Amino acid sequence: MRADQPLLLLDTGVGGLSILGPIRALLPRAPIAYALDQAGYPYGQKSETELAARVPALLGRLAEHVDARLAVIACNTASVIALDPVRAALAIPIVGTVPAIKPAAAISKSRVIGVLGTAATVRQPYVDNLSREFASDCTVIRHGTHELVALAEQKMRGLPTDPGAYARVLDGLFGQPGGEKIDTVVLACTHFPLVEEELAAAAPHPVTFVHGGEGIARRAAYLTEGQPWPAEPRPGTAIFISDGSDPEPLRAGLARYGLENFETL
């Protein structure tokens, strides 16, 4: 293992930055390659068949391109659908991003938990299994939305977002039977923590938002324990799998997460 081999993160857009932030905090000297699959955006509206084919092939190509030591699927939808195929296809350690139902159940006082994700994520049997295993004594209420993905992308480009949009999305969760008892909300899409402040301001009552960023960072640290790192932190690289759009509006937002180099594939 060489010190300059990076951790590779993959998402369709900026959502994985909510994973990169905790990784940077825990492993400040880790080289980072952050891939934005703009050509595949949005994963949350792709079919299971499409993702199960696309993600392993793309991640394998990227891992070889950057000589990654470890890869993080920094997207809940891609993880719950394609994690097993990716692990079967790649020889390096793979860390997935799954809905943080276990920590939500550990802190909920009302025993009513909300799960806010993309429609593709919240309908997966994986979420049923997590709920049965870790929240069997809780009522788990789900709501799928793509709108928050678009709002997070907009925010990261420095564009204003409509406060009313967050309230409308949350009404789909809290407006369900029993929703008024929700005290903990799982942000089951990596884009959603990027607009957590806006969600908190729009919530009908105070709730605790949880997501998996810190847990994924700890897992990455565990899997790379004892490996060499550069002596000093280095700027990371953002790799755009291009859909033809201009990545320049994202430069300032990505730089805040230490991604100062741009590359297009």
Active site residues: 75, 189
Give the torsion sign (CA, 151, 155, 159, 163): positive
Count of alpha carbons within 13 angstroms of residue 34, beta-carbon side: 30
- How far apart are alpha carbons 78 and 88 in whole angstroms? 15
Q: In what order do the strands lie in the sheet with 94-95?
A: 94-95, 70-73, 7-11, 32-36, 236-240, 259-264
The Cα 66–Cα 8 span in angstroms is: 8
Backbone angles phi, psi at 37, to 5 degrees: -85, 70
